[in-house]
Amino acid sequence: MGKHQRIAARVAGKGHENGFHPCYLEYFRLFNAQEYYAAHDVLEHIWLGSDGERYVFYKALIQFAGGFVHLQHHQREPAHRTHGRRLRPAARLFLRSAELLRELPDDYEGLVVAEIATMALATAGELESTGFAANPWHPERAPVLQGPGFGTGGGTATLT
């Protein structure tokens, strides 16, 4: 089974809750479960067919998750020849994510965009402030995204 078939199977039977695509909602569930690569993949599934602001928004969230993929790999294997060099690429993804999010309204697709952008910039700043020598991510302090459909009000981002 290919990637697109696996993603379609993952969201099969899940409707458009409150008007949101099931892949979009699954992104938040996977992100909060620290399954950053899967979150990236599930959103990429609908990003490729989107356009306009939604294209920019999904791309920013994909890059945001991608930054955490790099941090997670580095945290698990900091001495690994590839994973040990993932901090700079992570910072680039966080900065690019924040740059894309600045193009969007403050509240977009049920999410407070500025909170994601702020978290992305703060994480990139932490990496840069140590000369890319320290990884700020740890599974016990991983960020949590309160996406649409996760309680009341707009979605937010918090560091735990």
- For the chain, the domain total comes to 1
Residue 136 has pLDDT above 60, yes or no: yes
What local confidence, expressed as pLDDT, does residue 89 receive? 98
* Torsion sign, CA atoms 20, 22, 27, 30: positive
What local confidence, expressed as pLDDT, does residue 157 receive? 54
Residue 151 has pLDDT above 70, yes or no: no
Angle at the Cα of 82 from the Cα atoms of 76 and 86, rounded to 5 degrees: 70
What local confidence, expressed as pLDDT, does residue 158 receive? 53
Which residues fall within 8 angstroms of residue 114, CB to CB, at 6 or more apart?
A: 101, 106
Q: Are 104 and 141 in contact (CB under 8 A)?
A: no
Q: How far apart are CA 59 and CA 63, in angstroms?
A: 6
Residue range of the domain that includes 134: 3-159
Residue 108 has pLDDT above 90, yes or no: yes
What local confidence, expressed as pLDDT, does residue 150 receive? 58
pLDDT classification of 14: cutoffs 50, 70, 90? low
Q: Is the pTM of this model over 0.85?
A: yes
Which residues fall within 8 angstroms of residue 159, CB to CB, at 6 or more apart?
A: 119, 141, 143, 144
CATH number for the domain harbouring residue 68: 1.10.3450.10
Q: Are 143 and 159 in contact (CB under 8 A)?
A: yes
What local confidence, expressed as pLDDT, does residue 76 receive? 94
pLDDT classification of 152: cutoffs 50, 70, 90? very low
pLDDT digits (tens, 9 = 90+) for 43-78: 998 998 899 999 999 999 999 999 999 999 999 999
